């Protein structure tokens, strides 16, 4: 036995690592070393001669899986790298690719993300004459996903709905049935399918089940409290033979019930495995006593929890503070100040700081503040690279080449760039194909039967030839070469070049970035670099993955993504009633308890300093609200001056004071010209459908430096101007510190 492996473990952790045979549950609080036990257990198994491929470790995010893999490899160099450490989804995607031929599945299946799912649902609703206003596509997608989490087929959903007299559910079940047909036609699986298909396959094919049960002698599951029913059944099936299943989790950190996670999985483990051993860990190694105590004060308000109190020997050299601000801009400014002050003494690096918030929408103000302060930051989870329109377009081409029956991708690129195929032609063609039970691709040669005009038919044929040529190329050329050729030969790049606007330039840069990402992929996986491998890898990139690593940068993320991670300094922002706890959750005891667990997860990420931030006024989604401090601040033991609204600061008042503006504008942040990435105007940046249409010529009144008033954003100063005539675009710095990029002719600015 390699004793050094046990040097950094306490007695309970050692017991857990040594107890390799039979079911084991580690049910313990945050920071007690659960993940550490998993990695050491794997290393210990390897040292005992267990083969790496006999071990399966699963967790929830790619980031967590990546970190676990790295730790295992550090503890057991060589063999460690060959252990299957993955997320549930990537494990299942791998399984399905390998076993496709045995289970009647097209091995080139695509993986649909939420946006793809929504598109398919929209088509289904239209076809079934279901009103989108009553049945919101995102709600329908959610219901379908929850059904899959519970291993329910459309017929099960219909039966449940009927039994409960649930008319809404009956209608959704119809959409679900059609949705499944469409996915099948496109050889596509959604995320729920990945897990469900594996479970169904294992249940249906005993030889397959036997093979995998034999193969994985040891199964380990991190964050077990967040498994849903399908994942639970999957691990149970796999572990049935050897029963060497080790699960670790914490009921206080269960925060995914809205995604179908079922806390009873952890609570019932000992019922499922009567011979299960259980290990409790109570010593926290992560946080200062003050942080632990404060987090406990909050979580103990939950009724439905199993009492656990943690202790620590860590030095009492940090603390918990409340930071209250007049509004969200001041909140961000204070966070920046605190990071500046705390990172100056060289004790901390920028990557030792993390800012958490409840909703993605809150990140924008922080981004502005960090940029102005010249402080590096990485936002995890928003505006994902792969969600950008131009990237989705190129990916759709790649998917179509891989699998031309993919209707979603077909429709996405058939007219991008423009090929003169009208909306009606496409609708007719799709209807025709649907009627035949075929994909659009499969009916292209019968387009004349679909009542499509000659011009469009020619264009469709040319497009089909184009895709076919690439289907041949994919046999001989690398993904990178294919992508490059698509971009040029499709005319996509040329269209952007001709547009020649800052936005189109940004798009070109992003596409170049995609090419480098593909190159990166090819270098990282020299043995598995086919188009199919690439598309699988991309489909599985989850929210926690970001293109740029967070080295030397402050990390910004939602609380949900923070699970399992740790930072020296943590800011939890937007701690206001209605924002966190969110919306109406305060009125629903179960939802409130989940919000509180999320708060507990956030607080227990901090090693040294925890800052609880709130602002008495906040504008979210264009609406300004006055707020009360979150009950979580009170529960943490802060009262009176910490929870009363601060006096409003003059600079943040609504009235515009030219003298003050001139004075403050000396400290005006520098706008970096080539930093266009952050200025992609979002829908709410540009005021659309404005009746006032004032063509602006080059001698327009909008000069750099001019002071202007905007009906929504208030007073500001023009700091950048591009384009001419109708295309004049302005970057305006508004008094609240925000930057906006506006199209001058519709922005309704007045000079002040
Ligand atoms: P969470 O519930 O947040 O996922 P966890 O229980 O998985 O937490 P770990 O992340 O494994 O906890 O450990 C928390 C921190 O404590 C890590 O930095 C880990 O390296 C450290 N740690 C755990 N056990 C020990 C130990 N015996 N000696 C020293 N450090 C330890
Ligand atoms: Mg952990």
Per-residue pLDDT at 384? 58
Can you give the pTM of this predicted structure?
Answer: 0.74
- What's the CATH number of domain 319-384+546-636, 3.40.50.300, 3.30.70.20, 3.30.559.10, 2.60.40.10? 3.40.50.300
Domains 3-103+195-283 and 319-384+546-636 share a fold: yes
What superfamily would CATH give domain 385-540? PCRA; domain 4 (1.10.486.10)
**CB hemisphere CA count around 121 (13 angstroms):** 25
Residues contacting 451, CB < 8 A, separation 6+: 428, 432
Q: Could you give the angle at the alpha carbon of 110 between the alpha carbons of 383 and 513, nearest 5°?
A: 40
Q: Let me know if 649 is a catalytic residue.
A: no
Nearest ligand (C-alpha, residue 37): 1
Atom number of ligand 1 nearest to Cα 28: 6
Task: Give domain limits for the chain.
Answer: 3-103+195-283, 110-186, 319-384+546-636, 385-540, 706-751
State the CATH class of domain 110-186: mainly alpha
Pocket probe mutation, ligand 1, options 35, 64, 250, max atoms within 8 Å of Cβ:
35
Pick from 542, 43, 599: nearest CA to 320: 599
The two tokens of residue 147 are 């059904």
Q: What is the CA radius of gyration of the chain?
A: 28
Atom number of ligand 1 nearest to Cα 281: 6
Residues contacting 97, CB < 8 A, separation 6+: 107, 109, 532, 536
The two tokens of residue 398 are 């790649």
- Write out residues in the chain with pLDDT < 70, as ranges: 1-3, 345, 381-385, 501-503, 541-550, 620-623, 646-699, 734-739
649 SS3 class:
coil
Q: Which residue is closest in CA terms to ligand 1's atom 13? A: 33
Per-residue pLDDT at 423? 85
Integer CA distances (angstroms), 247 to 27, 38, 331, in order: 8, 9, 40
Distance 292 CA to ligand 2 centre (A): 16
- What's the CATH number of domain 3-103+195-283, 1.10.1050.10, 3.90.1150.10, 3.40.50.300, 3.30.565.10? 3.40.50.300
**Interface confidence (ipTM) of the complex:** 0.99
Per-residue pLDDT at 540? 77
Q: How many residues does the chain have?
A: 752
Per-residue pLDDT at 295? 96
What is the C-alpha separation between 144 and 140, in angstroms, rounded?
A: 6
Q: Could you give the angle at the alpha carbon of 636 between the alpha carbons of 633 and 641, nearest 5°?
A: 50
Per-residue pLDDT at 3? 65
Nearest ligand (C-alpha, residue 28): 1
What is the C-alpha separation between 721 and 717, in angstroms, rounded?
A: 11
218 Ramachandran zone, left/alpha/beta (phi>0; psi -120 to 50): beta
What is the C-alpha separation between 536 and 95, in angstroms, rounded?
A: 12
Q: Let me know if 506 is a catalytic residue.
A: no
First to last CA, the chain: 78
**35 marked as part of a ligand binding site:** yes
DSSP string, 526-583: TTS-SHHHHHHHHHT--TT--SS--TTSEEEEEGGGGTT--EEEEEE---BTBBTTBT
- Given 597, 605, 721, 741, the catalytic residue: 605
Integer CA distances (angstroms), 178 to 163, 239, 269, 434, 562, in order: 21, 34, 36, 11, 36
Per-residue pLDDT at 420? 87
**165 marked as part of a ligand binding site:** no
57 SS3 class:
strand
**30 marked as part of a ligand binding site:** yes
Return the percent helix, strand and coil in the chain, to nearest 5: 50, 15, 35
């Amino acid at each position: 036995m390699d004793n050094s492996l046990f040097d950094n473990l306490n007695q309970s952790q050692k017991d857990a690592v040594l107890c390799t045979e039979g079911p084991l549950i580690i049910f313990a609080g945050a920071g007690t070393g659960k993940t550490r036990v998993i990695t050491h257990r794997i290393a210990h198994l390897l040292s005992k001669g267990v083969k790496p491929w006999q071990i399966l470790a699963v967790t929830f995010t790619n980031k967590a899986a990546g970190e676990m893999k790295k730790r295992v490899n550090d503890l057991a160099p060589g063999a460690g790298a060959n252990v299957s450490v993955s997320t549930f989804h990537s494990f299942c995607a791998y399984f399905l690719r390998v076993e496709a031929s045995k289970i009647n599945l097209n091995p080139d299946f695509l993986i649909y993300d939420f946006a793809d799912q929504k598109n398919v649902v929209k088509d289904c609703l239209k076809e079934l004459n279901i009103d989108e206003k009553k049945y919101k596509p995102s709600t329908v997608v959610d219901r379908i996903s929850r059904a899959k989490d519970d291993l329910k087929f459309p017929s099960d959903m219909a039966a449940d709905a009927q039994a409960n007299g649930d008319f809404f559910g009956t209608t959704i079940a119809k959409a679900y049935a059609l949705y499944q047909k469409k996915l099948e036609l496109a050889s596509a699986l959604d995320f729920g399918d990945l897990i469900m298909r594996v479970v169904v396959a294992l249940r249906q094919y005993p030889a397959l089940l036997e093979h995998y049960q034999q193969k994985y002698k040891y199964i380990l599951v991190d964050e077990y409290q967040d498994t849903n029913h399908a994942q639970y059944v999957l691990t149970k099936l796999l572990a049935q033979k050897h029963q060497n299943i080790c699960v670790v989790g914490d009921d206080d950190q269960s925060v995914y019930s809205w995604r179908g996670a079922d806390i009873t999985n952890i609570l019932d483990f000992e019922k499922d495995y009567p011979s299960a051993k259980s290990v409790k860990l109570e010593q926290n190694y992560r946080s200062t006593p003050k942080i632990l105590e404060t987090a406990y004060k909050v979580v103990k308000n939950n009724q439905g929890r199993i009492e656990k109190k943690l202790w620590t020997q860590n030095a009492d050299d940090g603390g918990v503070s409340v930071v209250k601000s007049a509004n969200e801009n001041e909140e961000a400014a204070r966070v920046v100040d605190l990071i500046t002050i705390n990172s100056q003494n060289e004790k901390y690096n920028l990557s030792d700081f993390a800012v958490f918030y409840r909703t993605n929408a809150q990140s924008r103000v922080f981004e502005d503040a960090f940029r102005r302060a010249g402080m590096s930051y990485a936002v995890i989870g928003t505006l994902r690279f792969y969600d950008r329109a131009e990237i989705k377009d190129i990916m759709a081409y790649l998917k179509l080449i891989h699998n031309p029956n993919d209707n979603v991708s077909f429709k996405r690129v058939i007219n991008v760039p423009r090929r003169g195929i009208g909306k009606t032609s496409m609708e007719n063609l799709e209807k025709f194909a649907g009627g035949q039970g075929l994909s659009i691709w499969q009916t292209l040669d019968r387009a004349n039967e679909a009542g499509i005009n000659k011009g469009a038919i020619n264009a469709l044929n040319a497009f089909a030839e184009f895709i076919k040529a690439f289907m041949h190329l994919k046999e001989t050329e690398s993904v990178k070469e294919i992508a490059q050729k698509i971009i040029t030969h499709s005319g996509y790049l040329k269209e952007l070049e001709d547009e020649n606007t800052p936005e189109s330039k940004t798009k070109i840069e992003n596409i170049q970035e995609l090419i480098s990402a593909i190159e990166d992929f090819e270098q990282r996986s020299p043995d598995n670099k086919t188009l199919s491998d690439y598309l699988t890898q991309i489909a599985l990139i989850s929210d926690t993955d970001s293109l740029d690593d967070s080295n030397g940068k402050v990390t910004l993320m939602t609380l949900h993504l923070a699970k399992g991670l740790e930072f020296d300094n943590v800011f939890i922002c937007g701690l206001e009633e209605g924002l966190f706890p969110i919306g109406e959750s305060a009125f629903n005891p179960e939802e409130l308890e989940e919000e509180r667990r999320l708060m507990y997860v956030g607080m227990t990420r901090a090693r040294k300093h925890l800052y609880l931030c709130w602002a008495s006024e906040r504008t979210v989604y264009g609406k300004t609200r006055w707020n009360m401090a979150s009950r979580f601040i009170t529960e943490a033991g802060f009262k009176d001056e910490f929870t009363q609204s601060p006096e409003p600061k003059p600079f943040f008042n609504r009235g515009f004071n030219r003298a003050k503006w001139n004075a403050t504008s000396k400290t005006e942040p520098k706008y970096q010209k080539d930093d266009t990435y952050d200025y992609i105007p979002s829908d709410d940046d540009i005021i659309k459908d404005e009746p006032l249409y004032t063509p602006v010529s080059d001698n327009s009144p909008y000069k750099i430096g001019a002071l202007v008033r905007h009906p929504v954003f208030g007073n500001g100063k023009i700091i950048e101007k591009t384009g001419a005539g109708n295309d004049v675009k302005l970057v305006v710095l508004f008094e609240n510190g925000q930057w906006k990029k506006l199209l001058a002719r519709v922005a309704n600015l007045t000079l002040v």
